Amino acid sequence: MLSMQTMAPPNGESKERAARVDERFDETNRRITEGREETNRRFDEAKEESNRRFDEAKEETNRRFDEAKEETNRRFDEANLRFNRVESDIGELKKSVAKIQESVVAMHANLTRIGFGVVLTFVSVLLTRGF
Protein backbone atom coordinates (compact mmCIF):
# COMPACT_ATOMS: atom_id res chain seq x y z
CA MET A 1 0.00 0.00 0.00
CA LEU A 2 1.05 3.50 -0.77
CA SER A 3 1.02 6.10 1.86
CA MET A 4 -0.76 9.38 1.40
CA GLN A 5 2.51 11.10 1.01
CA THR A 6 3.45 8.95 -1.94
CA MET A 7 0.07 9.51 -3.63
CA ALA A 8 0.42 13.24 -3.50
CA PRO A 9 1.76 14.94 -6.63
CA PRO A 10 5.24 16.28 -6.48
CA ASN A 11 5.65 19.59 -4.68
CA GLY A 12 6.28 21.70 -7.80
CA GLU A 13 3.24 20.32 -9.55
CA SER A 14 0.98 21.28 -6.61
CA LYS A 15 2.21 24.82 -6.73
CA GLU A 16 1.64 24.89 -10.47
CA ARG A 17 -1.92 23.61 -10.06
CA ALA A 18 -2.61 26.15 -7.32
CA ALA A 19 -1.28 28.90 -9.58
CA ARG A 20 -3.58 27.74 -12.43
CA VAL A 21 -6.56 27.66 -10.05
CA ASP A 22 -5.66 31.16 -8.88
CA GLU A 23 -5.39 32.28 -12.52
CA ARG A 24 -8.79 30.78 -13.35
CA PHE A 25 -10.27 32.35 -10.24
CA ASP A 26 -8.80 35.75 -11.17
CA GLU A 27 -10.05 35.36 -14.76
CA THR A 28 -13.54 34.41 -13.55
CA ASN A 29 -13.50 37.31 -11.11
CA ARG A 30 -12.39 39.66 -13.92
CA ARG A 31 -15.20 38.40 -16.18
CA ILE A 32 -17.77 38.82 -13.41
CA THR A 33 -16.52 42.36 -12.76
CA GLU A 34 -16.56 43.20 -16.48
CA GLY A 35 -20.02 41.65 -16.83
CA ARG A 36 -21.29 43.66 -13.87
CA GLU A 37 -19.77 46.84 -15.28
CA GLU A 38 -21.26 46.12 -18.72
CA THR A 39 -24.64 45.35 -17.15
CA ASN A 40 -24.50 48.58 -15.14
CA ARG A 41 -23.48 50.53 -18.25
CA ARG A 42 -26.36 49.03 -20.27
CA PHE A 43 -28.76 49.64 -17.40
CA ASP A 44 -27.67 53.29 -17.20
CA GLU A 45 -28.06 53.67 -20.98
CA ALA A 46 -31.51 52.08 -20.87
CA LYS A 47 -32.45 54.32 -17.95
CA GLU A 48 -31.29 57.42 -19.83
CA GLU A 49 -33.19 56.32 -22.94
CA SER A 50 -36.32 55.61 -20.91
CA ASN A 51 -36.08 59.01 -19.23
CA ARG A 52 -35.54 60.69 -22.60
CA ARG A 53 -38.56 58.91 -24.11
CA PHE A 54 -40.65 59.73 -21.05
CA ASP A 55 -39.69 63.40 -21.30
CA GLU A 56 -40.54 63.40 -25.02
CA ALA A 57 -43.89 61.74 -24.36
CA LYS A 58 -44.58 64.18 -21.54
CA GLU A 59 -43.75 67.16 -23.76
CA GLU A 60 -45.93 65.79 -26.57
CA THR A 61 -48.79 65.12 -24.16
CA ASN A 62 -48.52 68.63 -22.72
CA ARG A 63 -48.37 70.11 -26.23
CA ARG A 64 -51.48 68.19 -27.29
CA PHE A 65 -53.25 69.13 -24.07
CA ASP A 66 -52.44 72.81 -24.63
CA GLU A 67 -53.65 72.60 -28.25
CA ALA A 68 -56.87 70.92 -27.16
CA LYS A 69 -57.33 73.51 -24.44
CA GLU A 70 -56.83 76.36 -26.91
CA GLU A 71 -59.24 74.75 -29.39
CA THR A 72 -61.82 74.22 -26.66
CA ASN A 73 -61.50 77.83 -25.53
CA ARG A 74 -61.78 79.04 -29.14
CA ARG A 75 -64.91 76.95 -29.70
CA PHE A 76 -66.37 78.12 -26.42
CA ASP A 77 -65.76 81.75 -27.43
CA GLU A 78 -67.40 81.12 -30.81
CA ALA A 79 -70.39 79.47 -29.15
CA ASN A 80 -70.62 82.35 -26.70
CA LEU A 81 -70.59 84.87 -29.57
CA ARG A 82 -73.30 82.92 -31.39
CA PHE A 83 -75.36 82.71 -28.22
CA ASN A 84 -75.05 86.46 -27.69
CA ARG A 85 -76.01 87.08 -31.33
CA VAL A 86 -79.03 84.80 -31.03
CA GLU A 87 -80.00 86.48 -27.77
CA SER A 88 -79.70 89.88 -29.48
CA ASP A 89 -81.72 88.67 -32.48
CA ILE A 90 -84.43 87.36 -30.15
CA GLY A 91 -84.54 90.76 -28.45
CA GLU A 92 -84.89 92.48 -31.83
CA LEU A 93 -87.60 90.02 -32.88
CA LYS A 94 -89.51 90.69 -29.67
CA LYS A 95 -89.34 94.43 -30.37
CA SER A 96 -90.53 93.85 -33.95
CA VAL A 97 -93.40 91.66 -32.77
CA ALA A 98 -94.40 94.31 -30.23
CA LYS A 99 -94.38 96.99 -32.96
CA ILE A 100 -96.43 94.76 -35.26
CA GLN A 101 -98.91 94.14 -32.46
CA GLU A 102 -99.14 97.89 -31.84
CA SER A 103 -99.69 98.47 -35.56
CA VAL A 104 -102.39 95.79 -35.68
CA VAL A 105 -104.16 97.36 -32.69
CA ALA A 106 -103.90 100.81 -34.30
CA MET A 107 -105.18 99.47 -37.64
CA HIS A 108 -108.02 97.72 -35.84
CA ALA A 109 -108.92 100.97 -34.12
CA ASN A 110 -108.75 102.86 -37.43
CA LEU A 111 -110.83 100.24 -39.20
CA THR A 112 -113.34 100.34 -36.38
CA ARG A 113 -113.58 104.14 -36.68
CA ILE A 114 -113.79 103.93 -40.46
CA GLY A 115 -116.42 101.22 -40.20
CA PHE A 116 -118.35 103.27 -37.66
CA GLY A 117 -118.01 106.33 -39.92
CA VAL A 118 -119.25 104.36 -42.92
CA VAL A 119 -122.22 103.11 -40.93
CA LEU A 120 -123.03 106.65 -39.76
CA THR A 121 -122.71 107.95 -43.29
CA PHE A 122 -124.95 105.19 -44.60
CA VAL A 123 -127.51 105.82 -41.89
CA SER A 124 -127.31 109.55 -42.53
CA VAL A 125 -127.86 109.02 -46.24
CA LEU A 126 -130.78 106.76 -45.55
CA LEU A 127 -132.31 109.20 -43.14
CA THR A 128 -131.94 112.16 -45.45
CA ARG A 129 -133.46 110.41 -48.39
CA GLY A 130 -136.17 109.07 -46.33
CA PHE A 131 -136.85 105.50 -46.44
- What is the count of structural domains for the chain? 1
Please list the ranges in the chain whose pLDDT falls under 70. 1-11, 130-131
Q: Note whether residue 30 is domain-resident.
A: yes
Range of the domain at 49: 16-129
Instruction: Yes or no: say if 87 and 80 are a contact pair by the CB < 8 Å rule.
Output: no
DSSP assigned state of 2 = -
User: Cβ neighbours of residue 8 under 8 Å, at least 6 residues apart?
Assistant: 14
**Per-residue pLDDT at 3:** 47
Q: Note whether residue 115 is domain-resident.
A: yes
**Per-residue pLDDT at 130:** 64
**Per-residue pLDDT at 91:** 95
Percentage of residues of the chain with pLDDT beyond 70: 89
User: Cβ neighbours of residue 9 under 8 Å, at least 6 residues apart?
Assistant: 17
- Please give the Cα distance from 82 to 69 (Å, whole number): 20
